[in-house]
Each structure stands twice: as C-alpha cells, then as structure tokens.
Structure 1
C-alpha cells in the first residue's frame, strides 16, 4: 500500500474499482489495433508531468516518451497505445542526437525495459532540477492560470543527503523489493507487474530513519511511513515555519497531520496562549500525534477521521489564524478548501507532493480570494520525476 511520508497511508484508487457511490467506473471504449513495438523517429519536445517528454510525430498521436531529453532526436518505441488513442506511451530506445544534459545512468537497469523506479537517471542532476522546475511552473500556468509572480520564478532546490556528496544516490531510507527467492531481489518495470532482478538499488540508503527532527524524536508506527529522504522532515518543517511565521497566541489547524510533524513545531511557536488542532484520517498515525504533542506548550486537540467530514462537523470551528495542509497525492480538493477558507486564516501553508494537484488546489483557493504569495520546491526524490512543494497562500 502506498503511504504518506509523514506517517499515514496515502490512499490511491484501484483501476476498475467502484466509486464511493457504489457505481462501477465507466467502461473503456473499444480500442483499435495495438501499436506496441512501433518505432518512430523524431525530435523530442518539452518535458511533461510524470517523467516524460512530448514528441509530436508528423503522423499519428502525440507520444509521451521516457528516457529522452528535450531537443534530442530519438527513435521511440511504443510501449502502450492503439489506433484511435489520443496519445501513446513510448521509450527512447535509440538516441541519434543527444542533449548536452544527457549522462550515463549510474544504474545498469535504469533504461528502457528495465526497472521502473527511476525516471531521470539519464539526466544530469542540475538538468533534473531544471526539468522539475519546468513542470512545476507549467502546472501552475496551465491549471491555476498563473503566468507570472512566484509561479514563474520558482526554482527546485537541491537537498543533499547529510554526509554524502550531492550525487542523487543513497537517499531512500525505506525501499521495497520483490522477493525472487534464493536471496535474489527485484523491482518492477514501469507500469508493469514484470520484475527485473536488482542486486542493489542505488537510491536505497540501506539505513532507516531515526525519526528525529531538529533534536526532537517522534513516535512513529513500525509500519507507518516517514519522509524517505533523511533531510526531508527538517527541510519541510523549516519551510512551513518560515512561510507561516507563527506568532505567540495564534491558533493553528494542522490538516492531514500524520504523526504531528508540523503540529509539534507550530505548537512550540504559538506557545501557552496558542492552540493547535490536528486532523488525520489514519487512526494509528493520529494516536502517535497525541504522543508527539503530549508536552506541547500549546493547547492541543486531535481528531482522527476524514478531513472534509471532520471539518464539516464543526471541529475547530470559527476563526483560526494559520492552516497547514499536507494532503495525499490527489490534493485537498474543494470540500476541504472551502472548509479552510470558511475559518478565515491569515495564511495557509500547502505541502504538496504532486504539482498538478497543488495547482488545482491553488485555483480553488483563488476562487475565495487567497492568492499564492510564496512557493518553494525541493528535490527530495532525485533520479525520479517527483518533487515536493511548500506553497504559501494569503487572503488578497
């Protein structure tokens, strides 16, 4: 099960599953003849969200191509697609004219047909961060309608692993392998159940997290998730505190609170005259947040349950000064955003692991007069297309 990095599950729907209303998902239309294996030569266009580049051939649908870089001339082999589809997925299996940003992947199974865990090992680290910067900006432009300001100037920041060179390797403190028997391990191919044997994943740190942030130890369930990059908790806490600038005596609402990572430090900032109210959907993680804030100087209120439902039930009703949101990958969505703005906070910090979901939420906040005034993005998942953002929204 995919899980939240700060201590609770990240829910994700299963293809073909029933909706919350009990209706089956709409059946897919009949497809034309498969084009898997078709090879197409062309010049690669801009990056796209999801670890792809866009290639628009002279004929046929657009291709979303992995293992390519903008400006390269490649031979792309279709991996998913059929006649009549709006787009096909493909791998760059030959690079005829390489980009100056291309490097030799450090992992032997990172290329086409190999392990699906890393999207960007063929890209130099500076270019990986430029790639992610372009994606964040484009999602804010296309989805949130933000053409300038902080949306146009954000830069993805490097976050090296403490005590290691900034090489993008050995940062993942929790890794999952497929047991192949006889001591052999493997990892799955991209969008596939097929397994590639992997002796040593190069982003695996081979060490767990100590769950200590700025000298404070956190209680976390043995199977509960924590940020997998060892520098991530300190980095994100610092960014949230800097963005919100909490003052003594203020009230804070911590949503999707996990084990209380942000609530703990916000409680210290608002002090004895302040309050922190935490909502988390996973009961186990919520119980850990009670322990982690047991000695908080602030007044602490913890509620387990679906965030939108809990807020609609008048939990922490009335005005609050500050809100921090750390939703799952799909974002906070309208029901939660409307409950947040109803409490008229002076500032909202939105921690997002998906720039498209962040852009959708930013657009929802804008409907209620809250504008994006600051944004930081962090490269907490090197060699992959993933990026973490901390956005500050204030009432305009």
Structure 2
C-alpha cells in the first residue's frame, strides 16, 4: 500500500486514539476523521509494519451521528468533534470492552456503564504553552500555537489567568517561560499557577512588571525538568472542600490542598461521581491502601468517610508533599508514605492482604513489581482507575488469574470530545 494514495473503505470499528479500523487489500489502516459504519474515501498518509495510517477526505455514506465541528479539532485534541456526544460515549465504551476482551482475554464481563460529561467548561487544570507573551495549546503534531479558548475545554477564567500572569512578567523573564500550568478548586473558588522554565529565573530582582496577578492564590516556578518548584508569589495551592467533591463529612477534616504542579483529575464535573464509585468499592473494607495516591484524593476521602486504617503511597515529590500535609488532619488513622510504589510493596506488600487496594497509575499501568505484589497479596477488593485501556486490560488479566473477579466496569468521559478514555474497574476476590 503506497502513501498518498486514495482508497474507498468501510470504517469497521473504533480503536484507541480516536481512529477507526479499515482495510485496504486486507491490510489494516487506522483512519482519523471517521465514524465506524461509514463508507468513506481515505488518504493513506503513513505506512509501517503491519499497519497504515490515513484520514478521511470524503464521506460517501455518512453516519447519522456526524456533526459539523465548530472549530479546528487539532486545537485541544478534539478528535471526536465530528461525532455527536452520545455516540462518542458509545465509542469509548466499545474501546474499553475490546481491550478487556482482546488484550485481557476477559469474558462474561458485566455491562459497561458510562458517565457523560458536558463538552465545555469541564477542565479545572491545564498546561498551556507560551510563545512570547501569547498563551495557548499547540496544534496537534506541531509547535504552532492555537487559541485554547476556542476548544471550550477550560473552566471560565483559567485562560484569562494564564494570559494575565504572562502579561505581568518583566520582559527579561518572559523568554524563560515555556509553559503555564493553571489550576482551580473544583468549586472554582481558588486558582493557582506554576511556570515551567527553560532556564532559571534571576536570583535577585522583581519578577513582575505590574504587580502580582489578582484573583490568584499564588505562583511557583521551576525548570521544566524539575519536580522541586520555588514559590515566587503567595501560596501556589488550591483547596478542595470535601463538600465540593460530594462528601458530607466532619468539618475537622474539611478537604485537601494541592500544588498547581501536582497531578489531579481534570474534570471538575465528573470528579464527584468518580470519587463516589471508588468510595463505594472501599466501603466496609478493614483496610484501604491507596497506591499512586497523588495528593490523597481517594485514600483520604475514604478516611474522611470513616475508614479506620488507610495507607497512601506517592512517589512524586510535589504530590507527596501535599499528601503528607493533607494526611495530618487524620492523625494515626492515615499513614502517608513518601516514596515509590515499588519500594513500598517490596517492603510492606503484606499490608495489601485482605485490603481494598486503590490504584490510579500513569498511562503505562502498574509496573511488573507493583502488579506482582498486588496479585500475590490477595486483596479483598481492587479499585483500578485507568487512563489507558490497553495497559488496564494487561493488568486485569494478571489480577483475574489470581482469583479476583471483575464486578463493575465504568467509563467516565473525563476528557469529552478528545480521544482520552478513563475507566474504573472494581474487582472482588471470589
């Protein structure tokens, strides 16, 4: 199959990355811009071993779910901008089911639930690139800046805050800034900013040309390669009350704080629903162990709801600092471990036995060491939050082989209109 050739194909089924699978002379082509079930003319753009990539150039038999995008889908990763919202959710559900069956070898799965999100205003944190004093996303596959506001993703005021911060920097400071991380509380009451730098800021002298930005709790900065930020204004943390996350708890443990550069789930609308499902899995567990705990969202929420023995483990320096600080309100009921998951399970894997184990790993999934330890410890429950269906399916195959059964599978559309798929799988020991 030659590149730059046009072919007429049937788009057969969805695949990860927002593409559809088609075949040309028996060879698989992964096609962007289509909807499964459509017949279309495609242009083959790239070929490789066993697979080729193409894009739709003309739709011959359009799906009833096809809509007209309001902007450039390449700005903000809006690969499903041409697909009606209900069908987007069906596609993501199908991608998860295919991965669990094909990669995980799992059969007799429960029906996959799906939780929809509004398509706009959902995003409470974002990384925005900086060129000169302009702030925005990069067009997909390029270093060309585009208007992040046109995507509609960001919560009101976040883009304006990023632009205001850059506008107020002294001229000699601006060239050092590669990106701006903006975040807000789920309620929208507080905002903070972190600057990613290509070179250190001057050791002395004022950073701002016109004073610090208003309506911002604080600003930090660090080299893009560093996880040890320095505060340059205020306190660069926001605070989320448990009530804003859907929990009614004792005021003595009112919520959690997180640094602007700390990892946190990005969908302010669906976050309470995701948290509620995870806590449902942890209900009545004698112990809760939250691996990859971040700032403590799941594990500390379980403690706030009354869990008596909670261990949270986090290796990222920024998130771990917040975790330790957030855990202090719970006293001896919560143990916050500052260190990597692999080190923890190597020394204290027995703590996972009969516990509810919560995992929210990076896209690469559980490491072999972590996966082996969880499987061997025989926990009573595993609540697995995943942003990658393939690594999720790979890991579930091992856990199921060790006696855990899939109880529920839920797709949360945490990144609507984009190709990202978030899923929660709850497993129980049979």
Q: Deviations along 1:246-292, whole A, 9 cap, x unmatched? A: 35xx2211100000111112113344xx2111111112211211221
2:281 is matched with which residue: 197, 222, 243?
Answer: 243
Match runs of 1:322-341 below 5 Å: 322-341=356-375
Match of 1:28 in 2: none
Q: Deviations along 1:134-175, whole A, 9 cap, x unmatched? A: 11111111112223231xx1032213xxxxxx4x12222223
Tell me by how many angstroms 1:344 deviates. Answer: 2.8
SS at match of 2:4: coil
Gaps of 5+ in 2: 159-182, 186-238, 244-253
1:283 aligns with 2:283: no
Gaps of 5+ in 1: 1-33, 160-165
1:212 is matched with which residue: 240, 249, 257?
Answer: 240
Question: Any conservation in 2 of the 1:171–1:204 contact (CA below 8 Å)?
Answer: yes
Match of 2:327 in 1: 293
Change (3 A) 1:330 1:183: closer
2:105 is matched with which residue: 145, 151, 154?
Answer: 145
TM-score by length of 1: 0.80
Change (3 A) 1:292 1:117: same
Match of 2:235 in 1: none
2:31, 2:399 → 1: CA distance? 33
Tell me by how many angstroms 1:86 deviates. Answer: 1.1
2:256, 2:3 → 1: CA distance? 48
1:193 aligns with 2:135: no
Match of 1:101 in 2: 65
Q: Work out which structure has the larger RCO, using CA pairs closer than 8 Å and 6 or more positions apart in sequence.
A: 1
Match runs of 1:361-376 below 5 Å: 361-376=395-410
The structure with the largest strand share of the pair is 2
The structure with the largest helix share of the pair is 2
State how many pairs are aligned: 341
Match of 1:91 in 2: 55
What RMSD in Å do the two structures reach over aligned CA positions? 2.3
2:135, 2:370 → 1: CA distance? 45
Match of 1:221 in 2: 259
1:290, 1:186 → 2: CA distance? 33
Question: Any conservation in 2 of the 1:244–1:392 contact (CA below 8 Å)?
Answer: no
2:324, 2:129 → 1: CA distance? 35
2:97, 2:401 → 1: CA distance? 20
1:127 aligns with 2:87: yes
